[in-house]
A and B are shown apart, each in its own frame.
Chain A
Amino acid sequence: MSIQQLLNGVSLGSVYALIAVGFALVFNILKFSNFAHGGVMTLTAYIGLAASLFFSRWLSGLPLFGATLVSAALAGAIVGIVLERMAFRRIRNNNSPVIYYFISSITMGILMENIVTIFASSTFYSYPKFFELSVVELFHVNIALTDLLMLVFSSTALMILLWVLYRTKIGLAIRALSFDVNTANLMGMDSNRVVMATFIAAGILGGVAGVFLGINYTLYPQLGQLIVKGFIASVIGGLGSITGAMIGAVLLGVLEVTLISAVGAGIAPVFVFIIMLTFLLVRPRGIAGVIVQEKA
């Protein structure tokens, strides 16, 4: 495999990582696959579009990009709050099994996708041009600028998240909650607030991911269905480990690119399945199983 291929894989992986980080955050705390995150990405991507059209009266280029990103992130935070209140608060108070979160989240995801479809599916949309679609050439290999930016953003987001999780009080609370909700409650923690904080953070990540996906792949109501890649990455990477999800995402990207060049894209899902199955049988803890343990 050439270096160019490897790099293509990593850059695809960085797209997946951006999706997976927000997904894994909720996975980490509430232990369920938050498919509504796909809906969040779609919704915020369209809100970002509206914002970019609004701001384009005064701004252009990178400042416009910044304004769009911030608006989408803010919208993501709000969507996160609404999502938590509407879809998950009551389920948590009922102490329902994890599977109810899943049902709720997938229904929410479909709902958000449909709301976008209702309001924005009579034509195609795309973001204004923020920066050149240029290619950076390093040692005879090409990297697209947007891919590079995504890698930077997802790693930055991961760093910030890790810092928040391991160096701040709210992070400590989140980790405590993810370990044992009841005990955390007994210790006088307001679990509602902590969970809310988690959803806000996930919403912000979703907003950022939405804008990037929109720039790279144009806007369409089913944009959020890319969440399945985040799902695969999170599970391969190790359940509930954010770092693991990130590694899983990059590995998934490299694996897909390798398979596409080796066997073709058409049949690649079959090989992904076989590899996944073998991997899980050999190593049921996921990739991060060890990484997390080493850290602890």
Chain B
Amino acid sequence: MEYIITILTFTGITLIGVLGSYMVTGLTGLFSFGQAAFFSVGAYTAAVLVKDFATPFPLAVVAAMSAGLVAGMIVGYPTVRLRRDYISLVTFGFGEAIIALLNNSTNLTGGAMGLSGIPRYTSFWVVWLSVAVCLTIVAGYKYSKYGRQCLALRSDELAAKAMGINVNRVKLVTFLFAAAMTSYAGVLYAFYTTYVEPGSFGWIVSAEWIIIVFVGGINSLTGSVFATFLLTGLPEMLRFASEWRIAIYCVIVLLIINFRPVGIFGEFELSYKWLRQLGKKGAKAA
């Protein structure tokens, strides 16, 4: 059973990262190549604090999220002012810079050899409790004033400005929100695997999260959640295909993007109302 539990735990951690991407890319339309870098900021900050400075775990979590916020501020403040095309470049450069920093500060982070022997404080339940909390926050955010402003500026920035929305501020707030959340996911990861290395937080990971958001449907939070299950589970299910599994995975993603461009879920959101209607219909059919 541990096999399934481990996969589900990793899925939960990835899901929190994807939620960050959903906010930045899905909701606001900023194309961030550096989300995984926030993940590593969180993971390393907490791991180093606990391991080398014997900081209590909860305090380390707070510190890691603050570090994520600071990093988010450094990247976010200038980038939200830039043209959209450049945001991907700057966030990409940020990701590479973080990896370079991690590789360089060998005394603190172990460099490329990674940081091992992190205590295992995270478990399946901690992760999924965190997922529930994050999901509630993101869902709330989507329907809040800010979330709607995000959607407005995603569709038409000029029009949004004309409506009196402080575009840069909304972008920055969303970006910071996502940064803090992703750092938290990083903490969960570090204290679950007990080992972190800079190599596993490259831009490809950020790209994978964005792919998940789009496969699920850019307008649907439910879609992101579901696609996370599907796309992190898929490589595991495809294990029988041996070396072909990543290729098959890519083909499936391509098929979805090509034949269902709105994503699997389109604009659909799972809600109580929908479930009730479904129940009624089912009763009728029976």
Q: Which residues of A contact B (CB under 8 A)?
A: 33, 86-87, 90-91, 94, 96, 99-100, 102-104, 106-108, 110-111, 114-115, 117-118, 228, 231-232, 235-236, 239, 266-270, 272-274, 276-277, 280-281, 284
| Residue B168, interface by CB 8 Å | no
CB–CB B258/A269 < 8 A: no
**Which residues on the B side are within 8 Å of A86 (C-beta)?**
254
Chain-A contact segment, one of B39-47, B126-134, B245-253:
B245-253
**Which residues on the B side are within 8 Å of A269 (C-beta)?**
93, 96-97, 99-100
Q: List 14 A-B contacts (CB under 8 A).
A: A86-B254, A102-B31, A103-B253, A104-B254, A115-B247, A231-B92, A235-B85, A235-B89, A266-B104, A267-B100, A267-B104, A270-B100, A270-B101, A277-B90
Kindly list the 7 A-B residue pairs having the minimum CB-CB distance in the complex, ordered from nearest. A111-B250, A269-B100, A273-B97, A273-B93, A269-B96, A270-B97, A235-B89
Interface residue ranges of B156-215 to A (CB < 8 Å):
203-204, 207, 210-211, 214
**Closest B residue by C-beta to A33:** B88
| Residue B94, interface by CB 8 Å | yes
**Closest A residue by C-beta to B25:** A99
**Which residues on the B side are within 8 Å of A268 (C-beta)?**
100
Assembly CA distance A115 to B264 (angstroms): 26
CB–CB B90/A91 < 8 A: no
- Knowing A118-B247, A281-B78 touch, does A107 contact B254 (C-beta < 8 A)? yes
**Closest A residue by C-beta to B94:** A273
Q: Which of the residues A87, A114, A281 comes within 8 Å of B246, measured between beta carbons?
A: A114
Assembly CA distance A86 to B259 (angstroms): 11
How many Å from the CB of A218 to the closest CB on chain B? 21
| Residue B86, interface by CB 8 Å | yes
- Knowing A114-B247, A235-B86, A268-B100 touch, does A104 contact B258 (C-beta < 8 A)? yes
- Knowing A103-B210, A118-B244, A280-B86 touch, does A111 contact B254 (C-beta < 8 A)? yes
Give per-residue flags for B246-275: 1 if the beta carbon is below 8 A from chain A beta carbons, else 0: 110011011001110100000000000000
**Which residues on the A side are within 8 Å of B93 (C-beta)?**
232, 269, 272-273, 276-277
Assembly CA distance A270 to B211 (angstroms): 27
Additional A-B contact list (4), CB under 8 Å, known A86-B254, A114-B250, A269-B93: A94-B261, A110-B204, A269-B97, A273-B94
**Which residues on the A side are within 8 Å of B246 (C-beta)?**
110, 114
CB–CB B89/A99 < 8 A: no
CB–CB A280/B214 < 8 A: no
How many Å from the CB of B251 to the closest CB on chain A? 7
